[in-house]
Amino acid sequence: MAQDSGGWTLFMKPPRFAGEEGAALRGSCHEGVPSFSLPARHSHCAKMQNVSVFLYFIFLFSRRHGLWFRLRKVILWLLGVYIAIPFLVKLCPAIQAKLVFLNFVRVPYFIDLKRPQDQGLNHTCNYYLQPEEDVTIGVWHTVPAALWKNARGKDQPWFEEALGSTHPVILYLHGNAGTSSLGYHVVTFDYRGWGDSIGSPSERGMTYDALHVFDWIKARSGDNPVYIWGHSLGTGVATNLVRRLCERETPPDALILESPFTNIREEARSHPFSVIYRYFPGFDWFFLDPITTSGIKFANDENVKYISCSLLILHAEDDPVVPFHLGKKLYNIAATSRSFRDYKVQFVPFHTDLGYRHKYIYRSPELPRILREFLGKSEHEHHH
């Protein structure tokens, strides 16, 4: 306290009475004054000092008190918002649906999706399909590397006809189309409500969009293998789609799930955005039940029990969005399911040191080999 200007030293020497100015002021109390009045003037100086100390403490207290008052207001405001958000989500389930789909977030911005060639994709064509009335979805079709040269400047009919070539087709549900160099056609699209696709997103609608695109591909690809690849939220759409295809006895040649979860409730509970509320009383009731109320389930763990085709799961151990243990749990469910007894089920982990996290598995130099080996076996199983 002796080193603090706002502490005990104030009682000994208030700042305004310290140094040369203080000495001058103290001297003025005695200068030119008869000696008989000295005790009274000493008393006067002492009172001035006490008043100065008192005023200084009032100033210091008010400043600190004002800062604390403002800080307290901010803390109370943040606490109020923190408590209000769960009730707001519970009363308006549509908010939680928006947070699941995040279709209002467009990254990157200012891209004309009608012109993939502006992004250097001279081997890609943009289509528009209409799964339902008042719904239009934008589709990108990238041809295999062997056709890149011929694809330049070609129109949609040429690209559609190219699907009938001898190359397999991958229907990619929301992900990076970096597999084109492996010798596959890659068809990807924006679900209704994403990108420049028209419509409102829902689990049912997204699944129907995927079914429509799959049927569109099959009508043009002849006997070429068609694989379905889902990434992240797209894995939920993928298992919905493949379950439906298996139920109508038209399964794809294989299913690939990249960074999958078990179901949307477990994923929401594990998502980094939920950290600040994960231990909030009634977390499930406030945050997870509204998702179910909105008709969003993406139950991969249930769907795999009804899927009859080869399954490959890819997951990075350092995935911060969909925890690795959810992908492993899904694999364990599928591997013991009777529906896969005649098909290959494979789980490929990618070590943390590789740094692939949630969306960079496509960078793995081992991926081409993994796909060739898996899809080669899958084709053999499909034809036998």
| Phi then psi dihedrals of residue 140, to 5 deg | -110, 130
Is 319 annotated in the active site?
Answer: yes
Strand arrangement, sheet containing 169-173: 124-132, 135-142, 185-189, 169-173, 226-231, 254-258, 310-316, 345-350
Whole-angstrom Cα distance, residue 304 to residue 235? 11
Residues paired with residue 345 on neighbouring β-strands, in sequence order: 311
Structure tokens at 286: 């406030």
> Could you say which of 196, 212, 339, 358 is catalytic?
358
In angstroms, the Cα distances linking 310 to 26, 228, 258, 332 are 96, 11, 14, 15
Whole-angstrom Cα distance, residue 374 to residue 224? 16
> Could you say which of 271, 319, 337, 378 is catalytic?
319
Structure tokens at 307: 């899927």
Is 358 annotated in the active site?
Answer: yes
- The DSSP H or E segment spanning 90 is helix 38-91
C-alpha of 175 from chain center: 13
Structure tokens at 209: 């969009």
Structure tokens at 340: 């896969």
Classify burial at 358, counting beta carbons within 10 Å of its beta carbon; exposed 0-12, middle 13-18, buried 19 or more.
Answer: middle
Structure tokens at 68: 């604390």
Residues paired with residue 185 on neighbouring β-strands, in sequence order: 169
| Phi then psi dihedrals of residue 141, to 5 deg | -120, 115
| Phi then psi dihedrals of residue 73, to 5 deg | -60, -45
Is 378 annotated in the active site?
Answer: no
| Phi then psi dihedrals of residue 350, to 5 deg | -120, 125
CA-closest candidate to residue 189, choices 139, 255, 130:
139
> Could you say which of 232, 259, 294, 308 is catalytic?
232
* Residues taking part in catalysis: 232, 319, 358
